[in-house]
Amino acid sequence: MQQGQYIDGRYKIIKNIGSGGMANVFLATDLILERDVAIKVMRYDFSNDSDNIRRFNREAMATTELNHQNIVPVFDVGEDEDYYIVMEYVDGLNLKEYIQEKYPIPYHKVIDIMSQVLSGVEYAHSKGIIHRDLKPHNILLNQKEQVMITDFGIAVALTENSITQTNSLLGSVQYISPEQAKGSISSVKSDIYSLGIILFEMLSKEVPFDGESAVSIALQHFQKEIPSLRTFDPDLPQALENIVIKATAKDPRHRYSTAAEMRKDLMTSLRPERSQEEKYVIPIEKENLEETIQMKPITAAVADPSLPKTYSTEKPGQEQAVERVEETPQPPVNPVPYEPEKRKKGKPWWVIFALLIIGFSLIIFYVTSQPATIRIPDVKGMTEQQAVRTLEGLNLNIGEIQEEPSEDYDRGEVTRTSPQVNSSVKERAEIYLFISSGQELYPVPDLVGQDIEKARQELNDIGFTVEEEGEASSEYEEGRIISQNIQPGEEVLPSETTILLTVSTGEPAFDLRDLSNYSRQGVLDYAAERGLLVDIMESYHPSIPAGIVISQRPAAGTKLRAGDNLSVVISLGPEQVESESSEEPEESEIEEELISSTVSVTIPYVANMREESEEDSDEPESNSSESPNAVEIYIEDVNHDLSTAFRSFTITQDTTVEFNLQLRPGEVGTYRIVRDGEVLEENTVTG
């Protein structure tokens, strides 16, 4: 197929992007939807083979059932001289290329990628579909590093022994499970083994088993122990290596039961509580000590001697196909002289009749003894006991029973079966049951010190409900979390949990002092004490002495926090008119050094009840209410005397006030506090 060629009048070929055992893959443009797509077209050498056409159609049907963000979706299936499948075009690298380019990959990134792979495989398994050919070449990463698995359909389209016409194992033998290498039927755990090998390669950049021929590699899969990853990376967490060890166990019974179980183990592998984990040791059962493993022979293809001795199932630049295994020549056998058979007498008719009866009986026995085909019933939502009774009542055997988290089914109820509901199986077939362990618990993260916006988004994504309350704090910046109502690490159901976060509103607020009568130095000292940014301006004033505050902004009593701005105007004194007769100032005009003495007084509030009458009423009703206290402050210093009130105000509660007296060194000043006409306090202050 050439560049510019059209398929079905809709898809225009751009270029070839890969070749496989059954099909060629092209980048094309969908002229109707105006988008790039990948098209898998049946190879020419398979086009006239009805078996392969059937497999190709089965592949298409299988892939259309898979709808998951980590599986490449199929858009269209058709025939235009050749059979084809139209899929989403993934612009990026395959995992093999990613490993070669990015190694060493950070542990958290390895976990993120493998978690996505396991999620896609878990979904396919829930649909009763086993991949059978998982390898880095079939795992794609787009530009956003989202993982997408391809070629699920090829796995379904294979025959039981997975042998192509070239006698090559489909896919790379470096990733197949021991049971696949021996020619046994693949299972969910075969995919898990392949995932373990892929994880090994992500952590080491190497495959655990390699060799010059497919047979030598296949033998290693069930004869050799997997190498220790610590030889490649001495700092690798043991919990992470343990996942590889368990996933690649030779005996499928010792592997993870499901991709979900492996994914759950993977997601917790870097937690602090697993940092001292011991190395996982695969159980050795007694019968395995005496067992001799025999491999089924991988025989050479002889149907078509014109075929090449090697045949590529990978796209260019990837692993080459498994080599053909030639039959070993047998030693010549001496011919036996032919002797004519002696003529025998004809058999009596009753012997022939008896043989016919026996033959018919054997045929009837064979037909009636074959197991019946049974359609798996829907047992979802049943208890384990109910499901077992239902399946055993149909003469089906119960395989492994596994627990898995579920949001749709209560604890103890069946979530799914494998094979899936409505699948056709033979009598006595094993059915795997998956039982709900309830909704998945999630450990509450430690959020103290984090930014509230980021933490809120993280919690909402998980499913938590978030509530917030503000609190002033000198320790945490504004917008940082001070505390949380649920301890970090506690496992809860996100959908049923509300987390209350206490968020810093910044430094505690305080009431700005009245800076009247403060000197410049007094203002600077106060601003430094409170962490305020002060701006000082100067101006002449006819009555306020030089060096004393004329005004301030904000006003006294305003709520401020450290870092806020304060502006004050300092008096330059009365504006002087220059005298022509004298250039030197008189001694009295020389500003003397003054001492600013701060006084702090708490004035108690006394409740006074006042009577009010309503004039509009025929019978006036007397209403009582509390009245404020009138307060006057008198001071005597260099600038004031006791004849005039320095400050006048009202209070409705106990109130603390501060004021300054400007005194010469050794001079005595006086202050007087009057409340509602009565002298509350009178004292002296020495400068």
Q: DSSP string of 242-279?
A: HHHHHHT-SSGGGS-SSHHHHHHHHHTTTSGGGTTPPP
pLDDT digits (tens, 9 = 90+) for 168-197: 343 478 999 998 888 777 889 999 999 999
* Active-site hit among 133, 151, 265, 514: 133
The verdict on residue 465 lying in a domain is yes
Look at residues 283, 307, 328 and tell me which one is the last residue of a structural domain. Answer: 283
User: 74-88, 146-160, 516-530: lowest mean pLDDT where?
Assistant: 146-160
Query: Is residue 531 located within the same domain as residue 485?
Result: no
The verdict on residue 170 lying in a domain is yes
The verdict on residue 129 lying in a domain is yes
Q: Can you give the residue range of the structural domain that contains 392?
A: 373-436
CB 426 within 8 A of CB 374: yes
**CATH number of the domain enclosing 377:** 3.30.10.20
Q: In which band, very low, low, confident or very high, does the pLDDT at 624 lie, cut at 50, 70 and 90?
A: low
Rounded distance between C-alpha atoms, residue 207 and residue 217, angstroms? 11
**CATH number of the domain enclosing 155:** 1.10.510.10
Query: Is residue 71 located within the same domain as residue 159?
Result: no
pLDDT digits (tens, 9 = 90+) for 477-510: 889 999 999 999 898 888 889 999 999 988 888 8
| 133 is known as an active-site residue | yes
The verdict on residue 335 lying in a domain is no
Burial class (CB in 10 A: 0-12, 13-18, 19+), 490: exposed
Q: Report pLDDT for 45.
A: 53
Query: Is residue 531 located within the same domain as residue 656?
Result: no
- Closest CA relative to residue 39, chosen from 65, 7, 70, 81: 7
Q: Which residue has the higher pLDDT, 16 or 301?
A: 16
Q: Over the Cα atoms of the chain, what is R_g?
A: 45
Query: Is residue 29 located within the same domain as residue 178?
Result: no
Look at residues 463, 486, 504 and tell me which one is the last residue of a structural domain. Answer: 504
Look at residues 267, 283, 299 and tell me which one is the last residue of a structural domain. Answer: 283
Return the residue matching tokens 């592998």: 269
Token duo for residue 115:
């978690």
The verdict on residue 249 lying in a domain is yes
Query: Is residue 68 located within the same domain as residue 48?
Result: yes
Count the domains in the chain. Answer: 6
Task: Name the H helices within 370-473.
Answer: 384-393, 452-462
Write phi, then psi, for 251 (nearest 5 degrees).
Answer: -85, 120
Q: Report pLDDT for 325.
A: 33
CB 27 within 8 A of CB 7: no
Query: Is residue 493 located within the same domain as residue 546?
Result: no
Establish whether 40 is an annotated binding residue.
yes
Query: Is residue 148 located within the same domain as residue 254?
Result: yes
Query: Is residue 613 located within the same domain as residue 551?
Result: no
Query: Is residue 480 located within the same domain as residue 540?
Result: no
Query: Is residue 414 located within the same domain as residue 492?
Result: no
**CATH number of the domain enclosing 13:** 3.30.200.20
Rounded distance between C-alpha atoms, residue 419 and residue 125, angstroms? 9
Query: Is residue 611 located within the same domain as residue 513?
Result: no
User: DSSP class of residue 163?
Assistant: B
- What is the mean pLDDT of the segment spanning 42-53? 62
Tell me if residue 634 falls in helix, strand or coil. strand
The verdict on residue 292 lying in a domain is no
Q: Report pLDDT for 349.
A: 72
Rounded distance between C-alpha atoms, residue 327 and residue 298, angstroms? 10
Query: Is residue 244 located within the same domain as residue 97?
Result: yes
- Closest CA relative to residue 282, chosen from 260, 253, 240: 253
Amino acid of residue 536: I
The verdict on residue 329 lying in a domain is no
The verdict on residue 128 lying in a domain is yes
- What is the mean pLDDT of the segment spanning 212-223? 84
